[in-house]
């Protein structure tokens, strides 16, 4: 079986498993279904192995898809092993409440090429291939966008940004220089797919660091460009009770990896592999990626994959009866999470 088809099917089946719980206002059920589906698909595949680098957490807090877990053909010493970053549901809140913003996503690269990212905040700028030579976060986001506007000789660039209080001033500044701003509640990985698909020129915002690995993979795989910078917890939440403890944990990670809060991280710093691959499937999706649908015993899934500068938007139909007869591994997921 072609490895890319297996990985594509994994995110599609993860999306299928969540369908039962979309809109039920339970983020844990949504995530649990997708996690189990991904592990079922990936753990028994032959001829290759995957090492989880960025997953659901450490072993003591995540029994499945935890950092360091090996999936796939683990009994075969000749099976090639790859790094894996995975977010079974990027956007559990929109999936649980049934609004746009959720996908299942994975990134795969050569062994020991992915940086294990902490549960921290990260400033991220993801731009289309048109502007890949024109970004430098050291200048500050507004100066970067002005450079991009000057290069393409138009002000009305399209931006996607998380609608958060921390972005209020940036949103106002972007609008003031002529940028068309589209605000979203969740899902900067999904927003980056929109950039690749030509629905926006760039994504900017401060969000989760682990998702940065997925976005870096997408940038590398599609020919786009991403830069990022870790942001201290106290910059976002200066007065919270847990801020002091969070800062101790963050500073320990920063010291270990010789990275500070001023370091600009390129996409290839997060995933050092020009052949990285990215896969996603829409759950509630949004933008250029449509949500999953179900009708008369069939699931309709819209997925996306990118590698080697090639981006593919894929529509798949899963006929439950036929799949159950031919794929016992998937049947176990269908039986547990059937409509």
pLDDT at 9: 94
CATH number for the region 121-270 comes to 3.40.190.90
Helix (H) / strand (E) containing 289? none
Q: Indicate the range of 23-27, 149-153, 292-296, 332-336 predicted with least confidence.
A: 332-336
Pairing assessment for the beta strands 158-162 and 180-184 based on DSSP bridges: parallel
Q: Is 92 within 8 Å of 27 (Cβ atoms)?
A: yes
Give the pLDDT band of residue 53 (cuts 50, 70, 90): very high
Give the pLDDT band of residue 142 (cuts 50, 70, 90): very high
pLDDT at 200: 97
pLDDT at 257: 85
| Whether pLDDT at 59 is above 60 | no
Is the pLDDT higher at 68 or at 329? 68
- Share the mean pLDDT of the chain: 93
For residue 94, which of 282, 298, 302 has the smallest C-alpha distance? 282
Query: What residues does CATH 3.40.190.90 cover in the chain?
Result: 121-270
Measured CA to CA, the distance from residue 139 to residue 124 in angstroms comes to 14
> Average pLDDT for residues 115-126, to the nearest whole number?
93
Taking the model in full, what pTM does it have?
A: 0.94
Each residue's pLDDT tens digit, 73-102: 999 999 999 999 999 999 999 999 999 999
Q: Which residues pair with 87 in a beta bridge?
A: 105
Query: What residues does CATH 3.30.540.10 cover in the chain?
Result: 3-112+274-337
> Average pLDDT for residues 258-285, to the nearest whole number?
95
Q: Is 227 within 8 Å of 266 (Cβ atoms)?
A: yes
279: helix, strand or coil:
strand
Q: Which CATH architecture has domain 3-112+274-337?
A: 2-Layer Sandwich (3.30)
Q: Is 62 within 8 Å of 56 (Cβ atoms)?
A: yes
pLDDT at 1: 55
pLDDT at 61: 60
Each residue's pLDDT tens digit, 29-43: 999 999 999 999 998
Give the phi and the psi of residue 290 in degrees, each rounded to 5: -85, 155
| Whether pLDDT at 258 is above 70 | yes
Is the pLDDT higher at 303 or at 250? 303
């Amino acid at each position: 079986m072609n490895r890319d088809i297996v990985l594509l099917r994994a995110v599609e089946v993860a999306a299928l498993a969540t369908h039962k719980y979309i809109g039920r206002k339970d983020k844990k059920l949504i995530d649990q279904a997708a996690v189990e589906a991904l592990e079922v698909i990936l753990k028994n595949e032959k001829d290759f192995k995957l090492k989880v680098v960025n997953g659901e957490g450490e072993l003591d807090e995540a029994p499945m898809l935890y950092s360091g877990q090996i999936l796939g053909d683990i009994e075969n010493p000749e099976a090639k092993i790859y790094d894996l970053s995975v977010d079974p549901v990027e956007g559990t809140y929109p999936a649980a409440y049934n609004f746009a913003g959720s996908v299942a996503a994975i990134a795969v690269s050569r062994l020991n090429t992915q940086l294990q990212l902490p549960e921290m905040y990260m400033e991220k700028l993801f731009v289309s291939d048109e502007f890949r030579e024109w970004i430098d976060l050291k200048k500050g986001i507004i100066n970067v966008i002005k450079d991009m506007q000057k290069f393409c000789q138009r002000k009305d660039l399209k931006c996607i940004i998380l609608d958060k209080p921390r972005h209020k001033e940036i949103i106002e500044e972007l609008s003031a220089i002529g940028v068309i701003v589209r605000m979203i509640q969740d899902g900067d990985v999904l927003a980056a797919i929109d950039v690749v698909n030509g629905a926006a020129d760039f994504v900017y915002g401060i969000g989760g660091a682990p998702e940065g690995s997925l976005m870096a993979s997408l940038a590398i795989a599609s020919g786009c460009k991403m830069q990022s910078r870790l942001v201290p917890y106290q910059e976002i939440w200066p007065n919270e009770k847990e801020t002091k403890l969070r800062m101790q944990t963050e500073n320990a990670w920063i010291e270990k990896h010789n990275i500070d809060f001023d370091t600009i991280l390129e996409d290839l710093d997060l995933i050092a592999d020009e052949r990285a691959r990215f896969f996603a499937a829409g759950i509630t999706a949004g933008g250029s990626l449509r949500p999953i649908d179900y009708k008369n015993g069939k699931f309709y899934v819209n997925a996306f994959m990118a590698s080697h500068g090639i981006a593919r938007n894929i529509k798949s139909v899963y006929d439950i009866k036929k799949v159950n007869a031919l794929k016992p591994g998937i049947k176990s997921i269908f039986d547990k999470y059937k409509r």
